[in-house]
Amino acid sequence: MKLALRSTAATNNWWLRFCAWLTRARLCSQWCHGAIVIDGLLYQANTARGLHCTADWNPAHWTLIDIGKCHEKRALAIFEARDGAPYDWLGVLGFALPVRGDRRALYCFEWCAIAIGAPPARWQTPERLLSYILMKEKRPCRSCCTC
């Protein structure tokens, strides 16, 4: 299982490029999008399709961080239960406005946090995900024997 982070828009559309830039600027991050990779498939939440899986992606456009197989089965079970969940527009707007996200919907970093077993937080960011992964390397989890 890998955490996949992207620093550019998926297409060359000017609006998507602007949104990618705005996300990076607001989060003070080099990444604007996140996903999970399991067995070569990309599991992501985006504005076009909500939470979904695709085999049509280019690893060269992503920063891939191997996080081991510890939570793979759990992540796949969560994906199966939430496949097709809409994009969490309120959750994303919550980075700039005093609104809370929709519990039924997911934005990309929120999905990644759930998939890797990170503790709940109002705002999930790439750096928060990376921090959790680094802490896990120092303190193995007790829920399985593979990490």
The model's pLDDT over 65-116, given as tens digits with 9 standing for 90+, comes to 999 888 899 999 999 999 999 999 888 777 776 676 778 899 999 999 999 9
Give CA 20 to chain center in angstroms. 14
The model's pLDDT over 132-143, given as tens digits with 9 standing for 90+, comes to 999 887 655 555
The model's pLDDT over 30-44, given as tens digits with 9 standing for 90+, comes to 999 999 999 999 999
| Alpha carbon distance 35, 45 (integer Å) | 7
Tell me what pLDDT residue 146 has: 53
pTM over cut 0.75: yes
